[in-house]
Copies of this chain bind each other. A is one copy, B any other.
Amino acid sequence: MPDKLLLLIHCPDREGLVASVTSVIRRFHGNVVDLDQHVDTERGVFFMRVAWNPATDDEAAIAQFQQAFAAEVAKPCDMTWRLERASRRTRMALFVSRYSHCLYDILARWESGEWDVAIPLIISNHRELAPVAQRHGVRFEYVPVTPGTKAEAERRQLDLLREAGVDLVVLARYMQIVSPAFIAAMGGNVINIHHSFLPAFAGGQPYHAASARGVKIIGATSHYVTADLDAGPIIAQDVVTVSHKHSVEDMIRKGRDLEKIVLARAVYAHLMHQILVYDNRTVVFE
């Protein structure tokens, strides 16, 4: 059975886009198994994700399809697009500091086979979680970061990432801000978990801020990292109710469960190539 192919597209909306795309797939004897499309009528943008079983795994045939699609549809329609192979295993690096719950959760999903992903590298600005990495047989690199050495530290991080062939960086409660240069070097493939319902309580110590404000609900937000701190495209959010009974410590405890689940949902959507980004927002075809 040939490997499933995925096409992710966005372009200015116009008539007949679905028929144009599916016609080319059909001509190459592909069988569409999943098709999601969405039109943002306000912005006039068309989004599409289509998955199909191609007639063959033959590289030449796929290249031919890409050429035909580019020339006949993508170019005339001014499309931003990419083709993914469903079975290609994403190589993911984890950035951590001292909090371990997201790290443990991701390692368990990987190790148990829940996620079909490679985790060649864990980078941290602290040494505390090295034993966790070692226990799971994942390379752990300690890269300390100080205001003075930040640029150098990022160069070191990028060297390690390149060397390990990493496609995706997951900031699993990594308590450092990454630079625009770093994000650009990773092609924007950097996912963060923020421990609040963004845009409420952006910045540091959101649970303390939530407690001081007396909210009845706390949240967590996973988003792509952009130059503007905590303002990148949101991928997933969830919330849990709290009351006057919950101290800041209770919120932190309840929040941990939220953070790990929300981060996992976002990473999973990325791994499954379900996310399109446009205008600092995401379209997630679940």
Contact = CB atoms under 8 A, between A and B. Distances in A.
How many copies of this chain does one complex carry? 4
Contact of A112 (B101, B197, B198, B244): B101
A1 interface: no
A176 interface: no
Chain A facing B: main interface SS: mixed
B257 A237 contact: no
A243 B284 contact: yes
Contacts of A39: 33-34
A201 interface: yes
Given A104-B112, A112-B100, A257-B261, A214 B234 contact: yes
Contacts of A197: 197, 200, 217, 219
A199 B213 contact: yes
A207 B280 CA distance: 17
Contact of A18 (B18, B217, B245): B18
Contacts of A243: 284
A32 interface: yes
A129 B191 CA distance: 31
B233 A214 contact: yes
Interface string A44-88: 000100000000000000000000000000000000000000000
A163 interface: no
A100 B282 CA distance: 32
Contacts of A238: 217
A114 B87 CA distance: 36
A149 interface: no
A31 interface: yes
Question: What are the 9 A-B residue pairs with the smallest beta carbon separation, nearest first?
Answer: A214-B281, A104-B108, A200-B200, A19-B22, A244-B283, A216-B237, A100-B112, A15-B31, A217-B237
Given A197-B217, A245-B286, 20 more contacts: A15-B31, A16-B26, A18-B22, A18-B35, A19-B22, A19-B23, A34-B39, A101-B114, A108-B108, A114-B253, A200-B200, A213-B234, A214-B233, A214-B280, A214-B281, A215-B237, A216-B235, A216-B236, A243-B284, A257-B264
